[in-house]
């Protein structure tokens, strides 16, 4: 029993480390100032979803132990969303409904980002405009920069070893490297 409690604590600590990296990367100013992501609550939520997609899918592809960390990370993300909604002044009656909607949105993003990366840049362009840029009118170069960023981020996170993942280490490219770039894959 004590072993399971320790395992849960360890998973929560690893998930928290991944979540801190996701949030820190999602807050990078270049996304908002140069790549056209709306600097709003919705824009920031979408950036967390994009980075959570990268880490969650990478963890789930690795091993059962990593998949358990992914589930803990998923739970931690929604615990944090719950706190954020409460701090924004939403009452208890509406929180559960909104959290379920946010969860459906994240699961939808995971699915469309995965299919978009497989389908090509025109599909990814459409997906980013519909989701990440839903409330904005980005320039084509901004969307191209985000496509390049997403491809490079996926490549970089895929290179992270299983042992590094189980130490709570995530890796993302420098967001400023994608300002004014084309959609071609850019080495991190």
Residue 184 domain flag:
no
Helices (H), the chain: 2-26, 29-33, 41-62, 64-87, 92-119, 121-130, 140-159, 162-165
**Closest by CA position to 147, among listed 172, 184, 176, 119:** 184
Task: Give me the tens of pLDDT residue by residue for the chain, a chain 188 residues long.
Answer: 667 777 888 889 999 999 999 999 999 999 999 999 999 988 998 999 999 999 999 999 988 988 999 999 998 988 777 666 667 666 666 666 677 777 788 888 889 999 999 998 999 999 999 999 998 999 999 999 999 999 999 999 999 998 888 888 888 999 999 987 654 443 33
Contact 172, 25 (CB under 8 A): yes
Distance CA 5, CA 68 (A): 14
Residue 43 domain flag:
yes
Residue 102 domain flag:
yes
Residue 92 domain flag:
yes
Residue 183 domain flag:
no
Residue 126 domain flag:
yes
* pLDDT (0 to 100) of residue 184: 47
pTM assigned to the model? 0.86
Tell me how many domains the chain contains. 1
Residue 188 domain flag:
no
Contact 57, 109 (CB under 8 A): no
Show the domain range for 12.
2-178
Structure tokens at 143: 């969307």
* pLDDT (0 to 100) of residue 183: 45
Give the C-alpha distances (Å, rounded to integers) separating 105 from 50, 147, 169: 11, 20, 25
Those residues with Cβ within 8 angstroms of residue 107's Cβ, 6 or more apart along the chain or in another chain: none
Contact 73, 56 (CB under 8 A): yes
Residue 185 domain flag:
no
Distance CA 48, CA 76 (A): 12
Q: What is the pLDDT of residues 76-94, one digit of tens each?
A: 988 777 666 667 666 666 6
Distance CA 45, CA 47 (A): 5
DSSP state of 88: T
């Amino acid at each position: 029993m004590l072993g399971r409690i320790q395992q849960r604590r360890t998973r929560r600590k690893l998930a928290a480390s991944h979540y801190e990296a996701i949030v820190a990367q999602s807050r990078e100013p270049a996304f908002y100032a140069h790549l056209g992501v709306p600097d709003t609550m919705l824009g920031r939520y979408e950036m967390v979803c994009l980075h959570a997609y990268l880490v969650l899918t990478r963890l789930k592809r690795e091993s059962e132990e990593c998949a358990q960390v992914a589930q803990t990370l998923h739970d931690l993300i929604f615990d944090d969303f719950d706190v954020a909604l409460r701090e924004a002044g939403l009452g208890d009656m509406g929180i559960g409904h909104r959290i379920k909607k946010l969860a459906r949105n994240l699961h939808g993003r995971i699915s469309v980002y995965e299919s978009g990366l497989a389908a090509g840049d025109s599909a990814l362009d459409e997906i980013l405009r519909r989701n990440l840029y839903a409330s904005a009118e980005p320039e084509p170069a901004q969307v191209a920069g985000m496509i390049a960023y997403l491809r490079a981020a996926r490549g970089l996170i895929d290179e992270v070893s299983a042992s590094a993942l189980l130490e709570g280490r995530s890796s993302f490219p420098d967001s400023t490297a994608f300002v004014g770039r084309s959609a071609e894959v850019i080495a991190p």
